[in-house]
Each structure stands twice: as C-alpha cells, then as structure tokens.
Structure 1
Amino acid sequence: MLLHRLVPRVIPRVGKYIRPSWVLHFSTSSDADNLTHENRKVIITESGKNHIDSKYYPSISTVRQRLSASEKLRVKEFCKDFKDVVKFSDVDNNRSFENYLLEGKITSMRKSGKAMYFIDIIQDNCSVQIMATNKLMGMDPAAFNECHSFFKIGDYIAVRGYASRTKTGELTLKLNKPIEMLTPVLSKVPNRLEDRGLINNNRVLNYLVNPDSKNAIIVKSKVIQAIRNFLLDRDFLEVQTPILSGQGTGANATPFVTKFKGDPVHLRVAPELWLKKLVIGGFDRVFEIGSNFRNEGIDMTHNPEFSTCEFYQAYTSLDELMKMTEDMFGYVFAKLGVTNKFPVGNFPKYEFLPTIEQKTGIPITDLTLDGLVNYYKKMNLTIPPNPNPVKLLNNLSERYLESICSEHPNTPVFIYNQPEIMSPLAKSTTDAAGNRISSRFELFINAREMANAYEEENDPCKQLEKFKLQQQMKTAYNDQEMLIPDHNYVRAMEYGLPPTGGWGCGIDRLAMLIAGANRIEDVLTFGTLSSVLKN
C-alpha cells in the first residue's frame, strides 16, 4: 500500500472555469448529444484548415502542462497502486492532496443525472472508471455539459483527478478538471463485424470491433519472445542476415525475383546458407528470427511472407537436436501456459522408410523415379502429374507418416532419417537396405510440420555433388522449387564447416497451434498477402 498516494476527502477549489477553445457552444444539451460522427468530422476538419496548430489534436506535452497533476501514471500503474485501498476516507485528512493524470481511450460513457458522467477508459489493455461531475469541478451544470457533451466513445483523452471508490467499491478517478481531448474519433465504429471478407480487408476495424482477434497476435509475440529467450539463455548469438541477395536460396522453394542495377536479386526463402557461413566464420551458436518469402500459393497454413526461427550450433548431432527441440517446445508451452494441452518430455519417433514399409507391408528398395513409380503401382496409388522422386516421396509421407499424428493428438511427433534426395543440405549415410538417408528429422503436431532439423553436410565436394543433382532434377522435371546451387557457399565451406546441427521452426504455425487458430491469417497482423494488397 502506497500511503503517500492515499487521498483525503478534502476537495480543492479549481478556480473559475474557462471554456477550452475546442469546446462548441450548443443551444441545448440534446443538441450536443445528437451530434453525429459525420457532423463532428466536418467541424473538426474545418477547424484544422483554419488553425496552424489543430485544437483537436494538441501536443500531449501541452495538455499535461495544462492539467498540472501531481503525478502522471499509466492506467495499469494507477490500478495496481490503489487496488488494496478500500476506504479512502480513512486517510489522514492532514496529508497533502494529490492529483493523478491518466490518459486513455473512451470505451463507454454513461450520463447520470443532469451533470455527471461515468466514463471507462482503456490503456495497455487495462481499464479504469472515471467520474466527471460539475460540483467537483466548480462549474455550473450548463458549462459542465457544454464542455463534456462533445466527447464520444473512441476518443483519446487526458484526465486529472483523485483516487476514490464508488458505493459499489469500484476504483474510480474523480475528476476535478475538465476532460482534455487528445485525439477525436471521426468515424463511428460498428458494434459487430462478422463478414470474413470485411475482416480481412480492414484489419484495423476488426481489432477495434473484435478485441479477441488480437489474442492470436499477442500469442505469436510471446512465442517469439520465448524462443528468443530460450536460445539466448544457451549462449546463442542473435544475428540478421541479408534478405536481398543473388540466386542462392537455401531451400526448395520458388523465390520472388527483382533486379538491382540490372542484375537479378532474390528475396530470401530461408536464411540457412548465410547462417552456416557465419558458423564457418567462427560463430559457433547463431540464430535468426525473421521473415522469409516464397512465391507460392496461399492456403490455410501458407502465405508468401512468413516468419521462422533458424539456429545453427557447431558440434551438434541429430540426437542432440531432438533433445533441444523437446526442451524448447516444453519451455515455450510452459511460458504460454499450455502444458495442459500439449505433452512435454520425450516425443514419439518414427523412422521414414521403415515406417512406410510397416504401414504398406512392402519394402522400398529403389528410390529412383522408376522404382518409386513401380512402388505406387504395387500399392494401387494414383501417380501425380509430372512426378519426380521428391514429389512421390512427399506424397508417401503425407499418406503414411503424417497421418500417424492423428494417433497422437496435440503431441509433437518426430519423423526422421528422410531419404537423401529430399534433403540436399543434410549429411547422409547408407542404411542397411542400401538406401541413402539423411541425418534429418521433421517435427509434426496434428499433421502439420512445425520444425525441420538436420546434421549439416560439411564436405564441400559432396555438397557440390548434391547441388548438381538438384540442378539436374530442376531441369529434367521442370521443378522450380528445387534448390538453386550456391557455389559461393561451397567455396566458403572449403575454409571448414565444423560438424553442425541446423534447426528451423515455422513461428506462424506454432502460434496458430497455441492460439487455437485455424487460419494462418489469424496470426498475421494484416492477414495474408491477398488481404495486404487490398488493405
């Protein structure tokens, strides 16, 4: 309890009321009450044309000086300081009187009697009630109503008064000076907004009408903060790498292409190669949280612009990456308060090829295009148009592996040891059946990929061979999503890339999961690219 802030019941005189320049004169109070947003907009707009300094949009410093309160508080601070004070009348009346200045947005206005208003204001998602009455301000009812009838829900205001409680016990700031306008609302905010098209095309209005729509955005912010803190606590260095660069992409995806001084420039699809160059340069633990861009379609879980976190740590095995993933997701779930929804600890693990073979009862012995087409025929599966080995393996993964997640609802599941051809940047080995497999895993929750990690290929000769194979497949199958070779990266590898573990997570999807959002647009401040272009 802050005794020096407790307020006695002595009300000071405020002197003669001087009508502010922005207050309009109305013949009757009903004229002020009936002032529409449109009429008010005309008045305020015309006023701005005739004055160098708009009287409806004053400097906040000027307003604070005019109100001259003993102390300015955020609404949340005010509520915290006085939450335990029950009876302000018990305070020693000899204590000096203190006025507090608060600022916020009007969320409700209730007129009581001839010259009294109860107004709720909000700031930092915290609300407080203020009470304005002519008696406390030393004003006659007509002057009081003339001063205060102009305000509407949505206006941003500054107020001065003392802390008190109503008869019902609600903490209230009782005003002893007229309310000051900071920013008037010119357009009326509707009571409801449910049409999905209107929501997507006017996210500002949606946030005002549907405050709950801000929750998913807040969740995403907290997810980013939790991931960042998890890595910083483990001595990782946060870095920023180029978003515009040459043709190297670092992922199987179609890039956005533009030009700089006549040369082609790509927006990055992933920061991977840049981050690994930093590891080569001696930064043993690095991570980056930021936006990536892929010139591809939009659906419930995909947007051309999206957020990821990638980290790279030298001297790290696949098993260690799995353990770090379990620890990180447990940490994030705990920080977001959702450990009751999502299991933590050891996640189930399924090996890529053996699990498919177990599901189908037929071994996979040939990972070439012809071999996989024959496998599809044995299984009576539909062969997709323009097939290539990676596409056929991805389809098998969706059908037989990602469906496993339904057996573990809300549980993170590791799928590991994907075929080498699916992972051109990962270190590879040969399994017992003679198939080339990568030291890689993908993490799925409810059949959605959340993370991807692998031991990095650190042999420049093998990396060059894998790049060449990707280029051959890109040409043979006309697949624009195949990885674009980056020969500068291979040359950098010749300086020596230590055994390194790399990890990436789709932040948007993780935020969707925790927020319970079904569409990626819900965790994007202004929706998908389609909505952004309309906004």
Structure 2
Amino acid sequence: MIFDNQYQQQRIEKAQTLREMGINPYQNRVVKECTNKEFLEKYAYLKESEEKEALNESCTVTGRIKFLRLMGKAAFAKIEDESGVLQIYFSRDDLGDEWFKTVKKMIEVGDIVAATGYPFITRTGELTMHVKRLELVTKAITPLPEKFHGLQDIELRYRQRYLDMIMNPDVKQTFLMRSKIVSLIRRFFEDHGFLEVETPMMHPIPGGANARPFVTHHNALGVDRYLRIAPELYLKRLIVGGFEAVFEINRNFRNEGMDATHNPEFTMIEFYWAYHRYEDLMELTEKLFEYLFKELGLPTKLPYGEVEIDFSTPFKRIAYKEALVEIGNVPEEILEDREAMRSFLEEKGIEVEEHLTKGQLWGELFDAFVEEKLIDPTFVTHFPIDISPLARRSDDNPEIADRFELFIAGKEIANGFSELNDPLDQYERFKAQAAQKESDDEAMHMDEDYVKALGYGMPPTAGEGIGIDRLVMLLTNQHTIRDVILFPAMRPQKSQSESQEKKSEEKREDNK
C-alpha cells in the first residue's frame, strides 16, 4: 500500500467523510477568474487609499494551502498558485456555521481550494482576500514536509520533482527561466532565417558524435535501433537536399556516466548554415548571447558560484595549441612527440592508452590542464583533425580542423565547425573511425548513406551545437545539471524489503 502511514490514513478517512456528506473531494468544475499575482496587482492601490477594502469587487482564485491558522471563529491561510502566494481570511459569519465547522475539520495544509471574495488591507498592512465562499477542490492525501525544515533531501528532491516544486518556489523560477531561454533561442534563429525541423530519434546507425549509444529493438522490423547521439548527419542531409539554414531543438541520448554536467538524455540546439564558415558561427553565437541577455534583462557580468563571468562581447579566441601552452602550461616542445606527451601525462598521474594519436593526446592534455581554467567565454579554435571526424580540414594545415568549441566556467557549451563536404575524405575518416571500434566503443560507425548523400554535393556549410542544459545552468547560477532538468536520471531506488535486508546484514556483520 502506497498510502499506509497514520497521517495518510487520517486524510483518506476525511476524504471519505466528505463523500458521505455529498462533497466531492476531487471536483472538476472549477472556475479560476484571476491568479494570485493578478489579484495583488489589481488591488495594490488599496494600500495607499483611505478605503482599506473594496466591498463591491469580487474575484475567484485557486491555490494550494501552504499555511493555515485557525482562531476559533475565523482563520487566515496562505494559498499558492503558479504566480505566487496570497493571504486569505475567512470566518464562521461568512461561510456559515456548518460549513465553517467542516472546513476546520476537513481542510488542511496541502489541500487545493477555490476562494471567492473581495480585497482588504489587514491591520499589519497586508493585501488579503476576505473570503465569502470557500470550496475544496482537491484533497491532498500525503502531508507536505514540515514547514521550517522544508524539503532538504537532495535525492528526494530529484526523484519527486513535483514535491520539490511545491516546497521550493525558487525551483519553479529556474524552470520558468529555462522555458524563456528555449523560447528566445527559437525566436532568434527564426528571425535569422533558419527553418526549424525534426529529425529521427531512433537511428539505424549511431552517429554525429563520439559517444556510446543506447540500443533498443524494433520488433516489427526485427532490427536494432539506436537512440540518437546527435541529429547532425540528418540535418546535413537536409542541407544536401536544398535547405540552406536549419535548426533543431531536441533531446540527445548518450549511454555514459552521470555527473554535475552530464545526464544520459539532454537538450541541445543544432543548426547548419550553408555558404558560411565556422568564423561566421562564432559571430552568430556572440549575437545569440547578446540577444538572450537583452531579452532576459541580465547584466553582462553574472555570478557563478565563487567566480564572476564577464559575458561582454566579443568573446576571447585562442588556438588549441596556444591554449595548451599559455593556459595549460604544457611544454611546447613535447606537443609534436607522442612519447613525450605520454610521459608527461603519466608523470602527472594520468594514464593513457598506447594507441592514442597525437591529436588524441592533445585532447587528453587539454581536458586535464586547460578546460577548467576557461572561466570567461572563450572560443578555442584549430582543433586537431583526428579528434574532429566530421569537420573540414584547414586549407593552411591539413592536421588542423576548421573547428571551435566555446567554453564558459570551465565547461564546454558549444561545438561548431566548417563541415566536411568531400565525400571521399569523409569515407576515409569513417573507415578510420570504424577501425578503432575494437579499442574505442565511442568511435563512430560507418554511415554509407550519409557518404552517398555527400556524393550528390553539399554546399560549403558550417554547423554548431549548443547545450541547452549547461547554458541554463550558467544563466541561473546552478551547479548541477539535475537542477535544470525537470526529471533527471536517477539510480533505481531499493525497495523497503531490500533496505531492511541490508540493515539486517550490516547488523549481523557488526555482531560477529
């Protein structure tokens, strides 16, 4: 039984008593005439008026009772809806003796009510509704956590996000901000001539990024399918087909570990722009940040934990190799010597595999000594080609890709590059990636259909992906991705019997 403690049973009994009285504790025909915020804004003038009440005004609000104080023949309560909290006052004289007695016995903190009444100012100066009619809308079976301690169990907050939102108003504000950010990003790209599209979530071949996929099975076709790692290869097929500016905001799935910046399913925007280069993407990204900060009313300098981030444009730009030397303090003379780099990493306590290429070793050095030091927005450019399997080779140096990543607060926020549109070069790179599958389960598969698509000719194109979750973290000063995803992935909870068995086993061990 889910509702088996005494407090839940008491509330279930009250719900049954209400039914026997002819009152539905879960009614459906409820009219909400205004929000709490609208009520408070509409009648705020009473605080400055000689008349401290508006008897001829009437409005119906709804909300969850967050506080209830009974005083014999009257009561004060705080009710909360999506817009905020409103104080209401009701009495036996207004509700009638019988219904007032019922309310006192049957309605509790956590219940959802509808209140109709007029505004007045209390002796303490608080704008309040004087209730003439009070209805129970929904009877809550489970009591809310005790007010003064709130919901502090982090694990419980993520598992029961609904309860987290009830008890912690700031949580709702974070997700309201997230919604605004996504809406503004969509508007920005539409205003810049991009077409929003949708591409498959289940792929016959995992591709678009180096990552381990989730695998499922399609019964009707009798084949395995992979939840998409990235939409990249499908979006670029659309560029081949004739669209010149496309974007998609949607989920990606990667079968990887979970930490403060990684969740197995996450939200990204990816966009592709024909007849543009990666330098154009960096400029467009700066414009996007300028637009977001303006529309959200944010200052260009924002706190993030113990640091302050300066989002003033233009953002800093630095080449990958320069970053290793200037920011990571990696000796420049070792960067062309695989054995010297491997020895340097091992001296620093970082184990690396024998098969890693020069570019991959650069990547290990960058992850270890550079990334976390990039606090203000920084475009890192000129990536090694062998860690950029889908990016175009630089005309100036074939070992370098026309690629950048944007780092903020020590985290990768965006990844973009001039796209590889040479089908023969792409085929050879896919072959090289496929050859690494035995030693690297995140290496890409061969995608022959995508190579065929390139064979029909893809115009020069630049593409970029931006992590929505990490962006929201930055703009809301949140330090774990779980705080910006409504329902983050969690480890399975142990059943009560398993927990009890573990306790018994620990007790037996202690007694030995």
Report TM bin, short chain.
0.7 to 0.9
Match of 1:419 among 360, 363, 384: 384
Is the counterpart of residue 106 in structure 1 residue 75 in structure 2?
no
Give the number of equivalent residue pairs.
472
Contact 2:341–2:361 (CA<8 Å) still a contact in 1?
Answer: no
Is the counterpart of residue 167 in structure 1 residue 123 in structure 2?
yes
Match of 2:476 among 515, 522, 534: 515
Contact 1:312–1:501 (CA<8 Å) still a contact in 2?
Answer: yes
SS in 2 for 1:159: strand
Distance 2:391 2:330 in 1: 27
Change (3 A) 1:345 1:520: same
Contact 2:8–2:142 (CA<8 Å) still a contact in 1?
Answer: yes
Distance 2:494 2:232 in 1: 28
**1:77 CA displacement:** 2.1
Give the AA of the match of 2:277. Answer: S
Change (3 A) 1:295 1:479: same
Is the counterpart of residue 271 in structure 1 residue 231 in structure 2?
yes
Once the two structures are superposed, residues 66-107 of structure 1 have per-residue CA deviations (whole angstroms, 9 ceiling, x without a partner) of xxxxx92222222222222347775999xx944321111111
Once the two structures are superposed, residues 4-51 of structure 1 have per-residue CA deviations (whole angstroms, 9 ceiling, x without a partner) of xxxxxxxxxxxxxxxxxxxxxxxxxxxxxxx95531213425776x89
Distance 2:430 2:379 in 1: 26
Aligned pairs for 1:87-166 (under 5 A) are: 97-112=56-71, 114-137=72-95, 139-140=96-97, 144-166=100-122
Change (3 A) 1:213 1:90: closer
Distance 1:43 1:109 in 2: 17
Give the number of the structure whose alpha-carbon radius of gyration is greater: 1
**1:388 CA displacement:** 1.8
Aligned pairs for 1:360-375 (under 5 A) are: 360-363=330-333, 366=336, 371-375=337-341
| Counterpart for residue 492 of structure 1 | 453
Contact 2:159–2:490 (CA<8 Å) still a contact in 1?
Answer: no
Distance 1:484 1:304 in 2: 20
Change (3 A) 1:532 1:265: farther
Distance 2:168 2:372 in 1: 35
| Counterpart for residue 436 of structure 2 | 473
Aligned pairs for 1:149-298 (under 5 A) are: 149-177=105-133, 179-191=134-146, 192-260=150-218, 261-298=221-258
SS in 2 for 1:439: strand
Change (3 A) 1:503 1:533: farther
**1:451 CA displacement:** 0.5
Distance 1:404 1:87 in 2: 53
TM-score (norm 2): 0.84
Once the two structures are superposed, residues 111-130 of structure 1 have per-residue CA deviations (whole angstroms, 9 ceiling, x without a partner) of 23x31111221112322222
Match of 1:351 among 292, 316, 319: 319
SS in 1 for 2:287: helix
Change (3 A) 1:234 1:487: same
TM-score (norm 1): 0.81
Contact 2:278–2:463 (CA<8 Å) still a contact in 1?
Answer: no
Change (3 A) 1:264 1:36: closer
Is the counterpart of residue 462 in structure 1 residue 430 in structure 2?
no
Distance 1:88 1:237 in 2: 53
Give the AA of the match of 2:64. Answer: K
Change (3 A) 1:39 1:352: same
SS in 2 for 1:417: strand
Change (3 A) 1:514 1:386: farther
Is the counterpart of residue 376 in structure 1 residue 321 in structure 2?
no
Distance 2:316 2:455 in 1: 37
Distance 1:384 1:521 in 2: 30
Change (3 A) 1:355 1:164: closer
Give the AA of the match of 1:42. Answer: E
Change (3 A) 1:167 1:474: same
- What's the RMSD between the two structures over aligned residues? 2.9
| Counterpart for residue 304 of structure 1 | 264
Give the AA of the match of 1:235. Answer: G
Distance 2:335 2:106 in 1: 79
Once the two structures are superposed, residues 128-170 of structure 1 have per-residue CA deviations (whole angstroms, 9 ceiling, x without a partner) of 2221123344x34x65333444211111111111222223332
| Counterpart for residue 21 of structure 1 | none
SS in 2 for 1:222: helix
Change (3 A) 1:55 1:385: same
**1:364 CA displacement:** 6.2
Match of 1:39 among 10, 19, 25: 10
Distance 1:378 1:150 in 2: 71
SS in 1 for 2:437: helix
Distance 1:143 1:46 in 2: 14
Distance 2:10 2:45 in 1: 44
Distance 1:78 1:460 in 2: 63
Match of 2:363 among 388, 394, 397: 394
Distance 1:199 1:228 in 2: 30
Contact 1:315–1:498 (CA<8 Å) still a contact in 2?
Answer: yes
**1:488 CA displacement:** 0.9
SS in 2 for 1:168: coil
Identity within the alignment, %: 34
**1:365 CA displacement:** 7.0
| Counterpart for residue 526 of structure 1 | 487
Is the counterpart of residue 329 in structure 1 residue 289 in structure 2?
yes
Change (3 A) 1:256 1:429: same
Report the more deviating stretch, 181-190 or 227-236.
Answer: 227-236
| Counterpart for residue 29 of structure 2 | 60
Distance 1:422 1:103 in 2: 56
Q: Which runs of no fewer than 5 residues in structure 1 stay unpaired?
A: 1-34, 65-70
